[in-house]
Copies of this chain bind each other. A is one copy, B any other.
């Protein structure tokens, strides 16, 4: 079945997270975690849609929404099959529009907007294959996976041939790794315990809950005041105990 993308819908979704200092760090003391949220509509009789988003901090989300609208003509009318057959070419088309590329092409607002669209295409593709995205990727041959990447600006670091060889070399362990993920899950850490603007009691309560929930890695935000960072690190360590991993992020402060 041929799937044609018929329309790009974009939502400006904002959450007032700054009210609770959720997401606060040394560079972003009052973020409103938000998103330009893309829905790709198709002509499929089953109403299949692809969803993607680009993350923003509140103000300026409207710029990413406008950026998606500016890029949308490159996507509307394309078939999922033609995109999936040449994902690198699709990326190149999005980032090579001869007038829009002046605004980026692979940085800032245009980059964020491109990401929302490309994420939505991956979602559409995976849904069409009735798989989660990770499984769609994991089932690809090395050649197919490498063909999804535009190597234009990275061949000085790695070529398509290098990448295929690297993936081919790791192919042996693939089945074991998939089994392991199915068994124990994918390693993750939590940042929700240590946002910079949280009170001591909130950090303690959240660490305690996260330990109970089975987390083993805990990230805290630092970079405002060194003495305060030491004090907060001590209380996180006190809550998570000596065996769990304490991570720190100064966010470029």
Determine the chain B residues whose CB is within 8 A of the CB of A27 once the complex forms: 98, 101
Query: Is A214's CB within 8 Å of the partner chain B?
Result: no
Closest to A109 in B: B109
Quick one: which of A60, A62, A66, A110 has the most chain B CB within 10 A?
Answer: A60
Query: Is A230's CB within 8 Å of the partner chain B?
Result: no
B62, B98, B108, B111: the one contacting A57 at CB < 8 Å is: B98
Q: A28-B101, A59-B100, A98-B57 are in contact. Are A110 and B108 (CB under 8 A)?
A: yes
A64–B60 Cα gap in the complex (Å)?
11
A99 and B32: CB pair below 8 A? yes
B63 and A30: CB pair below 8 A? no
Quick one: which of A29, A31, A107 has the most chain B CB within 10 A?
Answer: A107
Query: Is A200's CB within 8 Å of the partner chain B?
Result: no
Determine the chain B residues whose CB is within 8 A of the CB of A70 once the complex forms: 59-60, 62-63
A98 and B29: CB pair below 8 A? yes
Query: Is A58's CB within 8 Å of the partner chain B?
Result: yes
A59 and B99: CB pair below 8 A? yes
Interface size for A (C-beta < 8 A) is 31
Q: Mark A30-62, 1 if CB is under 8 A from B, else 0.
A: 111000000000000000000000001111101
Closest to A24 in B: B98
Determine the chain B residues whose CB is within 8 A of the CB of A111 once the complex forms: 108
A103–B103 Cα gap in the complex (Å)?
12
Query: Is A220's CB within 8 Å of the partner chain B?
Result: no
Could you show 26 A-B contacts with beta carbons less than 8 Å apart?
A27-B98, A27-B101, A28-B98, A28-B99, A29-B98, A30-B99, A32-B99, A57-B98, A57-B100, A57-B101, A59-B97, A60-B70, A60-B110, A62-B70, A63-B66, A63-B67, A63-B103, A63-B109, A63-B110, A64-B103, A67-B109, A103-B109, A103-B112, A104-B108, A104-B109, A107-B108
**Sample of 12 further A-B pairs with CB below 8 A, known A56-B102, A60-B110:** A28-B99, A28-B102, A30-B98, A56-B103, A62-B70, A63-B70, A63-B110, A66-B66, A67-B109, A107-B108, A108-B108, A108-B111
